[in-house]
Amino acid sequence: MLTNPLTKNISSENIAATIEQYVENDGYQGWRKAITMVPDSIINEVKDAGLRGRGGAGFNTGLKWSFVPRGEDSPKQKYIVCNADEMEPGAFKDRLLMERDPHLLLEGMAIAAYAIGASHAYIFIRGEYHLAANRLEQAIDEAKQQGMIGENIFDSGFNLEICLHRSAGNYICGEETALLNALEGKRAIPRAKPPFPQVSGLWGKPTVVNNVETLCNLPHLISHGVEWYKNLSRGDDAGSKIFGVSGKVNNPGAWELPMGTPIRDIIEQHAGGMKDGLQLKGILPGGGSTDFLGPDHLDLPMDYDVIGKAGSRMGTGTITVLDDKTCPVGLVLNLTQFFARESCGWCTPCRDGLPWAVKILERIESGQGTKEDLELLREQCERIGPGNTFCALAPGAAEPIQSALKLFEQDFIDHIEGGCCPYK
């Protein structure tokens, strides 16, 4: 996906490829090939390759595209929207892609737009990503000047305009329908589904929302084909993936590795293992809204279904490491405070339930909690769990709480019985 994939710490450089450098390294070849293909064949290739969404949900990308109405009776105006509102705690892979290789994203967006028949595309980028936004704006200008996007691309008759939109919103804008509301200038709250965006999305027109990394997989997939893409993997899920590690390890960063790479390899070989004097206590495998896994899960391959069966989610694939000298109660409190602050306030379980969970965790962390508080937290996780809220923000916030209560229950009890945080 990037220069020297599978070996280099992506976060160690701060240089963006110009369009000349990108083209010298076979950039835009996938786009040149795609525009000679029948759009349906592109959709089928992406579906057959098994490219799953890299934003966290892991849904088959080609299948998602196939839901867009096609044919003469379908709406003429369609949209591709890139979800670059990367606000998941612990996630930083999309920022690195946009800063280091902006033309890769533009090429992927062009392929996706052509496949579904969209003439307009938007990059909805997190407002704090100033460097990434500046580099994308420069890349868009370069791509227009070189005829990679714009009018009558490669004399094909296909037109594509790509616009960058800097978000002024918060975490909820990562939910695709809230993102579309924000892009329309409305309050960023999730929409009721159905209809799904593929049928009625941006301004009521068919719209596909894809994550940055998902789109960045497309150029090489189209260039090299389905079997090549599948063979990149070490597991059941196809392709490669940017895996990241943050926490008290020797070499925090991000690396492009085969899907199915074991967690142990990512932490010990690429992230350099734990810092001296520290032991691994647990991990959040895919960002702050995933369930904790313990040291006994280190040999699991990083595949969507495997991590799901283990009781968590692969999510963004950016691992947060918890060491034995860091308080798990304090970590969960910090995450829950974030999610409570970022709630859009649209539904009661999230708007009122998350601040209540924060208060309970604050009591426990300060040593003033009771054992009844543990049952209150478990009950609260059920109340804000799947099926009880308008979107997945609150259920995601419940995951680190409920899993910490299982894996680190003794730490919670030590806070309560000792009357203080034992890690301070």
Of 416, 352, 413, nearest in space to 388 by CA: 352
| Cα-based angle 316, 318, 319 (whole degrees, multiple of 5) | 130
Backbone angles phi, psi at 151, to 5 degrees: -100, 140
Taking a C-beta distance cutoff of 8 angstroms, is the pair 91, 246 a contact?
A: no
120-125/240-246 β-pairing: unpaired
Tens digit of pLDDT for each residue in 335-394? 999 999 999 999 999 999 999 999 999 999 999 999 999 999 999 999 999 999 999 999
Sign of the four-CA dihedral 56, 122, 246, 169: negative
Instruction: Check whether 175 has a pLDDT greater than 70.
Output: yes
pLDDT of residue 4: 39
Run of H or E residues at 280? strand 280-284
Tens digit of pLDDT for each residue in 404-422? 999 999 999 999 999 999 9
5 band by pLDDT with thresholds 50, 70 and 90? very low
What's the mean pLDDT in 74-79?
Answer: 94
Those residues whose C-beta lies under 8 Å from the C-beta of residue 335, and which sit 6 or more positions away, are 89, 288, 397, 400
Strand runs labelled E in 106-160: 120-125
pLDDT of residue 1: 55
Tens digit of pLDDT for each residue in 273-300? 999 999 999 999 999 999 999 999 999 9
Q: What is the 3-state secondary structure (H, E, C) of 347-389?
A: CHHHHHHHHHHHHHHHHHHCCCCCHHHHHHHHHHHHHCCCCCC
152 band by pLDDT with thresholds 50, 70 and 90? very high
In angstroms, rounded to a whole number, what is the distance separating the alpha carbons of residues 337 and 359? 9
In angstroms, rounded to a whole number, what is the distance separating the alpha carbons of residues 418 and 420? 5
pLDDT of residue 7: 44
Those residues whose C-beta lies under 8 Å from the C-beta of residue 36, and which sit 6 or more positions away, are none
Run of H or E residues at 164? strand 161-166
Q: Kindly provide the b/e burial profile for residues 138-147, where b requires at least 16 CB atoms within 10 angstroms of the residue's own CB.
A: ebbebbeeee
Question: Domains in the chain and their CATH numbers?
Answer: 10-231 (3.40.50.11540), 240-323 (3.10.20.600), 328-418 (1.20.1440.230)
Strand runs labelled E in 6-91: 79-84
Tens digit of pLDDT for each residue in 124-144? 999 999 999 999 999 999 999
Q: Give how far Cα 1 sits from Cα of 163, 229, 255, 260, Å.
A: 23, 11, 10, 16
pLDDT of residue 12: 54
In angstroms, rounded to a whole number, what is the distance separating the alpha carbons of residues 357 and 380? 7
Q: Give how far Cα 231 sits from Cα of 58, 220, 262, 266, 385, Å.
A: 19, 13, 17, 19, 37
Backbone angles phi, psi at 318, to 5 degrees: -100, 110
pLDDT of residue 3: 40
The runs of H, that is alpha helices, within 71-129 are 93-100, 102-116
Residue with the bigger pLDDT between 56 and 273: it is 273
Q: What dihedral angle (degrees, nearest 10) is formed by the CA atoms of 302, 307, 313, 319?
A: -40
Strand arrangement of the beta sheet that strand 253-258 belongs to: 253-258, 240-246, 318-323, 280-284
Instruction: Check whether 22 has a pLDDT greater than 60.
Output: yes
pLDDT of residue 9: 62
Tens digit of pLDDT for each residue in 214-267? 999 999 999 999 999 999 999 889 999 999 999 999 999 999 999 999 999 999
Backbone angles phi, psi at 275, to 5 degrees: -65, 155
Residue with the bigger pLDDT between 151 and 7: it is 151
